[in-house]
């Protein structure tokens, strides 16, 4: 078991996706943020809409406040009651939250509270939200981004054990029974998020992923198996003896790109160390450093939280 004691196991490349996942890589955090963008401000409203238990909700709201994503503002003094509002740092997560929602709608989120559509009040249409470049306005697609080392490139400790345990106790994600995996499950596990992110950097073979992430092979095997079972990655053999495999994104997997990228850009802006982001992302279309906004697929206007209303989920057929 000496390999497990190796310090390499506890190192991962500096990565803004990973940093963002440490902050919001939890199902409840994502649900609370989504409701905040849909207009919730009070404890009871969050509780009703997310279905979270009181203690769960209290803990998450506290964390959101501590991380600087929300602020608590009193609205009543006797007894003292607070409203929870997104700060600028919290509001900047909008593209990521909308893209997570879009993915869950397409790929079968089971959450009863999930709104079925967003209406863009400016144009009056149901908006098909698109992640677009802030500079040139073109939709951001996988092949149109170039990655280069940023000033914050390097390695950092991986505080992953707690998350690892949680994933193992999460039977429907760990199992291979074909049950739907939700974005929040994926993102709730730092290693799954990182394995996914490595795909976007063009790293596809087992050995390469292991080296790229500094991940233990048993953990990598486990995550790849889960991602394949959930039809997010497809495995193909590229060498017979000994058998070696290559992992590629399926369509469902490729569509995680907008939210992974949006999380990364948010992490670059809000969680980077002093020297700057670990990776620079350039948009090939306009050659500028990538910045993302969400636009409306109908009128091309920028979607802001205040311009959007939600269509509640319908009862199942
Ligand atoms: Zn551009
Ligand atoms: Zn519109």
CA of 3 to the centre of ligand 1 (A): 44
| pLDDT band of 12, cuts 50, 70, 90 | low
Q: What is the mean pLDDT of residues 122-143?
A: 92
Give the number of whichever ligand sits closest to the CA of residue 290: 1
CA of 150 to the centre of ligand 1 (A): 19
CA of 285 to the centre of ligand 1 (A): 5
CA of 232 to the centre of ligand 1 (A): 27
CA of 128 to the centre of ligand 2 (A): 9
CA of 303 to the centre of ligand 1 (A): 17
Give the number of whichever ligand sits closest to the CA of residue 292: 1
Q: What is the predicted pLDDT for the residue at 169? A: 39
* Structure tokens that stand for 295 in this block: 């636009």
Give the number of whichever ligand sits closest to the CA of residue 298: 2
146-177: pLDDT as tens digits:
888 888 888 776 544 444 444 443 433 433 34
Domains of the chain: 92-317 (1.10.10.10)
Quote the CA–CA distance of 266 and 92 in Å, as a whole number.
7
CA of 152 to the centre of ligand 1 (A): 23
On average, the pLDDT of the chain sits at: 83
CA of 280 to the centre of ligand 1 (A): 14
From the list 167, 252, 245, the residue with the least C-alpha distance to 210 is 245
Q: What is the predicted pLDDT for the residue at 174? A: 39
CA of 16 to the centre of ligand 1 (A): 20
Angle between helices 94-106 and 27-37 (to 10 degrees): 110
Q: Dmax over Cα atoms in the chain, in whole Å?
A: 73
* Structure tokens that stand for 141 in this block: 């697609």
From the list 195, 158, 189, the residue with the least C-alpha distance to 174 is 189
200-234: pLDDT as tens digits:
888 999 999 988 888 889 999 999 999 999 899 99
- pTM for the whole structure: 0.85
Q: What is the predicted pLDDT for the residue at 158? A: 58
Give the number of whichever ligand sits closest to the CA of residue 289: 1
256-288: pLDDT as tens digits:
999 999 999 999 999 988 888 888 899 999 999
Res 317 pLDDT > 70: no
Q: What is the mean pLDDT of residues 126-155?
A: 89
Is 33 strand, coil or helix?
Answer: helix
Q: What is the mean pLDDT of residues 128-133?
A: 94
Res 190 pLDDT > 80: no
């Amino acid at each position: 078991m000496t390999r497990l004691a190796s310090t390499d196991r506890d190192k991962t490349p500096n990565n803004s996706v990973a940093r963002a996942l440490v902050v919001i890589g939890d199902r409840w955090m994502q649900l609370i943020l989504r409701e905040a963008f849909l207009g919730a401000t009070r404890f009871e409203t969050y509780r009703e809409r997310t279905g979270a238990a009181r203690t769960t909700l209290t803990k998450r709201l506290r964390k959101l406040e501590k991380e600087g994503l929300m602020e608590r503002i009193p609205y009543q003094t006797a007894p003292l009651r607070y409203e929870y509002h997104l700060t600028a740092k919290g509001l900047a997560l909008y593209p990521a939250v909308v893209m997570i929602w879009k993915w869950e709608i397409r790929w079968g989120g089971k959450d009863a509270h999930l709104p079925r559509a967003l209406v863009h009040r400016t144009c009056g249409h149901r908006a098909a939200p698109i992640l677009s470049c802030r500079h040139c306005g073109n939709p951001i697609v996988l092949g149109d981004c170039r990655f280069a080392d940023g000033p914050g490139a390097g390695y950092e400790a991986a505080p992953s054990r707690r998350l690892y345990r949680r994933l193992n106790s999460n039977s429907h994600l760990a199992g291979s029974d074909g049950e739907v995996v939700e974005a929040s499950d994926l993102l709730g596990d730092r290693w799954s998020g990182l394995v996914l992110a490595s795909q976007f950097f063009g790293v596809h073979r087992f050995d390469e992923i292991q080296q790229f992430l500094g991940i233990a092979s048993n953990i990598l095997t486990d995550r790849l198996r889960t991602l394949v079972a959930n039809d997010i990655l497809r495995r193909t053999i590229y060498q017979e003896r000994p058998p070696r495999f290559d992992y590629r994104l399926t369509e469902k997997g490729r569509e995680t790109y907008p939210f992974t990228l949006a999380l990364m850009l948010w992490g670059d802006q809000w969680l980077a160390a002093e020297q700057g982001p670990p990776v620079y992302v350039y948009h090939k279309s306009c050659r500028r450093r990538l910045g993302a906004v969400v636009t409306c697929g109908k009128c091309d206007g920028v979607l802001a939280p205040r311009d959007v209303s939600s269509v509640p989920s319908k009862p199942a057929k």
